[in-house]
Structure 1
């Protein structure tokens, strides 16, 4: 499967479009070893405004579908106002993170992004840029190498509900 994405931002210039390739299959590395590359795209509904959604179950399901025993799992969100990380997913920590984000990149202050685009989500972009769009997790004997309470989460910082696209890519043998 080939997925083509173009940057449709008004300021994009010719030749700067990104065309990521999404595929599955076996590939041989230089040492002659077969490596499986399994990619899938998932849709996750969010409420925005720091909504934190546990996606560990989805990531485990896709890892199992890959049939990879040993490798690495990359989990990435498509978009510039959301992030992927791991946390102990419980209400107290989710509330603590919301308070921390309000101290680090407050919603109620002026952002140059908001002045330029007028969409009121400058803080969303800053927060997502700090946390980052992806994380990688070792896959050992077919299991994600996560701590007892560690969960993979999607954090949507945008100001409105969204359907977020998450790409899970499993590489290994």
Structure 2
């Protein structure tokens, strides 16, 4: 049977997380049942917030995530006296700048029913606020299906 074009879009609400860099690869994959049926495609992940961001990086060592947090806190410190936008607290304007530096979206390749990530790569939610609350992601998956003879056989990480 011939392959078909697949488009799917899901909203994913992540529970509130403390300030820092958090692996969310499993949550994203779990929200995409169609992923297992794609032979080739793309996943676009978009965060609907201006004080948190997304990144792709090392998924093995928690030291890396802590070092990212320390670096960004050093680069853009809370409460810098030059900031004008201060009504929402000393961590708000720095959070907007960090989110702009890292960005609101990722586009990831899909191959044979899985995200085609490197061995040590994972998706991060970068929470830049002390109390950022729940975060919302829009997941848009597109690609070519495997056809009925292969559909459902791929394992999802």
* Root-mean-square deviation over aligned CA pairs: 1.9
Cα offset for 1:64? 3.8
Cα deviation per residue 1:34-81 (whole Å; 9 max; x = unaligned)?
A: 53210101111233433x221111222234434332110011111100
Of 57, 62, 70, which residue of structure 2 is paired with 1:87? 57
How far apart, in 2, do the equivalents of 1:64 and 1:47 lie? 24
Give me the whole-angstrom Cα distance separating, in 2, the residues matched to 1:78 and 1:64: 22
Aligned match of 1:77 in 43, 47, 68?
A: 47
- Where does structure 2 lack aligned partners over 5 or more consecutive residues? 145-157
SS in 2 for 1:79: coil
Deviation per CA, 1:82-124: give whole Å up to 9, x if none: 111111132211111011102221113131222xx44331001
| Normalised TM-score (structure 1) | 0.72
Task: Point out the more displaced range, 64-73 or 75-84.
Answer: 64-73
Q: Does 1:160 align with 2:127?
A: no
Equivalent of 1:141 in 105, 109, 112:
112
In the alignment, which residue of structure 1 is the partner of 2:74? Answer: 103
For these two proteins, the number of residue pairs brought into alignment is 138
TM-score by length of 2: 0.79
Alignment partner, residue 61 of structure 1: 30
CA distance in 1, matches of 2:110, 2:88: 43
Structure 1 stretch displaced more, 85-94 or 124-133: 85-94
Contact 2:110-2:116 at 8 Å conserved across structures: yes
